[in-house]
Amino acid sequence: MAAKKKTATFEESLEALEQLVGRLEAGDLPLEEALADFERGVKLTRECQQKLAKAEQKVKLLIEENGSIRELPFEAEDDSGGQA
């Protein structure tokens, strides 16, 4: 029986993408390696977008009331510690 491949979490995929971007921005990779990193980055970007879309769908389902969806605006926390 083949072992199942572990699916990375959103945070793991995003961290890997950030590392790839850093390597590419440094500009000191051979062309073949840069292309491989770029290809992996595109794949990671798509994975992150899919995970975000799934999360958004779940949130919409969770706030569904009486057969209709009530969308609420997202209020980001204020990093300054003060109240908005």
Q: Please calculate the CA angle 39-41-45 and round it to the nearest 5 degrees.
A: 120
Say which residues have a Cβ less than 8 Å from residue 69's Cβ, sequence separation at least 6. Answer: 60, 63
Best CA proximity match to 41, nearest among 6, 13, 5: 13
- Over pLDDT 70: what percentage of the chain? 69
What pTM value is reported for the model? 0.64
For 14-26, the pLDDT digits (tens) are 999 999 999 999 9
The answer, yes or no, to whether residue 59 has pLDDT greater than 60, is yes
Residue 81 lies in a domain: no
Q: Which domain holds residue 46?
A: 10-69
Tally of domains within the chain:
1
**Distance from C-alpha of 84 to C-alpha of 26, rounded to nearest angstrom:** 38
> Does the pLDDT of residue 80 top 70, yes or no?
no
pLDDT attached to residue 18: 95
Provide the CATH number for the domain around residue 23.
Answer: 1.10.287.1040
